[in-house]
Structure 1
Amino acid sequence: MIRHVLHSWRSVRRGEVLVFIAAALLFGALDLTSLVEVDVGDHLVPVLVRHLSLPLVSCAVLLLCWLPAARSSPIHPARRARLVAATLLGSGLIIGVVYPLAELVPGTSICQLYAAKHGKPDCNAFRLTALIGDTLWVSMPALMLVGMLEFRALRRRQDQAAQDLLREHSQLRRHALGARLAALQAQVDPALLFDALVSVERAYDRHDPSASARLERLIRHLRVALPRLREAGATLGGEAELIASYLDLLRDLGGQPPAFEAELGSRGATSLPPMLLLPLVQRAIRLGAAGRCWLAADGTRITLGFDEEGLCHEDEELASLRERLAVLDARLTCTSGAGRTEFELQP
């Protein structure tokens, strides 16, 4: 218990101190409004010191009582009761501290000047009604101040919880997308695979000299396309190899896919989510008859280009790809003209 109290006092923040100081000055200023009714004469400076210092001491006592309750668990069922109890305790301590302190502070108060002017009883004389009134005057604003601080803390915790939920949701979306991309990476078109196997078999039956090379290319494509179960993603070099092996396989099947060139420099080992580039190549083959395809990396930009115009129009495939990239905080832009189309990816 004592350790918690000491730790809470050490954890006081500058903003909290400023709030209590501002509240003390505000309450002191409210008392000073009585100056319009009382002629203090030469007592102005002592009156100002007295009516500003005592609220500062009061708020310091309230701060020390409030901190242990404020630093308690925010989800504890008795938190509000602790805050109310701490505030009432602080209000009682303020009365117990300020009454004796008021006797020690030099100078006179506005109340004493007013009493002397109008023949009223001395303000320092003990009266039960005055004690009750002062206690209410202290406890009610103290409860309002503590309530405001608790409301701010609650809003801050709610905002933080909302941010945590959004961050968790974003991470879950990323993981889900990663699983989808891994599944896409693991897929090998069964029709394409069957046609390739039949083509290799027929080539061997014909004693075609290219049969061995075709088999090697098929094996290479399977080695690249089959899932890498222990890998979390892909690399730019791996995706380039996947595109090249896919186009070679289509060429062996009698198709006329575009020639492929890759200029990656030192960016070949750059991490990249799988199955972002190959779908663009497959889409370009379905939509047109590009004769050349190139992949280049420059800084943070990855460019996949084709020597054909008109591949930028939005369709379901391109919209799906943009959706994946949005989850990954990446961006895809497309430019077309002068006999070429280029997709620029900024991961």
Structure 2
Amino acid sequence: MANLTFKALQAREIAGGGFETAIVDRTTDSLPEGEVLVKVRYSSLNYKDALSAAGNKGVTREYPHTPGIDAAGEVVEDTSGAFAPGAEVIVTSYDLGMNTSGGFGQYIRVPAAWVAPLPEGLSLKEAMMLGTAGLTAGMCVQRIAEAVVPGAGPIVVSGATGGVGSISVAILSKLGYQVAAVTGKPEAAPFLESLGASEIIARDEIGEPEKRPLLKSRFAGAVDTVGGPILENIIKSAQPMAVVASCGNAASPQLNLTVFPFILRGVSLVGIDSQNFPMPARRAVWQHLATDWKPGQLMSMAEVVGLEGLQEKIGLILKGQLKGRVVVDLWG
């Protein structure tokens, strides 16, 4: 097909060290190999995108680079034959936006194995209000719901104002669970309560290292997005047979624990890997997110910006000052 010119946010190294981002013109011929060319309508901002934009070589090895681990749009062409032109699709995680040109460009080209059909019940915009954060939240909720019934006790969500945290609060509340939201932002309490949190826990209350191997039994389950002492204390405070879903390490990747919560209370610590989540299971979670798990507050949880508004939001998310979700309108 014809070589198309499009707009993209590009991160690049600058003389003397450091990185900067700029909106540039690119061509579809410059995109990597792959069976599916997608015209991206919407993307979303995630912490990993901000790290890539800031030059984190642990996320992105080579620059210049277009971040964006999420994308939703229409298929332009698919040489594999899996998707018809015009089909609405979602592409999240795998290597998109890390070392493969990502959703902060108006076009992407990716392997067909990375592409999921947009489920009925979600618009492209709503899909990116969820994005990888929503997929990750859905995976956490799925593992908790397999073993913990509503009414068993509170489900605690750490980093509750972030993308994964806020969506987890909304989904769990919709499913009838009592939700305790952990945040370091007291002013965010009304926002979290609007999502369905029935209890707000100050981060300082649960974030200090605790030497005791077990704490008072408190939580029937958990979605932890931060790791470190908060995750340690959640595990130590878990009720018998609780399920703790771990999906982030913003505070620390280290855990200082004994085995006592696991062998004396039967607590399960479940790791969540949304990047390489198998496609059949991925589609099943997206179907839930489009139907019975779809947050009723979705529109109020997200702010929409264009490419030109991304740099400010990248700075905020790196400082831990972003609340809810940021959706990127690639053509707005």
Same-fold call, TM > 0.5? no
Q: If you compute each CA radius of gyration, which structure gives the higher value, 1 or 2? A: 1
Higher RCO (C-alpha 8 Å, min separation 6): 2
Comparing both structures, which one devotes a greater share of its residues to strand? 2
TM class, shorter-chain normalised?
A: under 0.3
TM-score norm. by structure 2 comes to 0.21
Comparing both structures, which one devotes a greater share of its residues to helix? 1
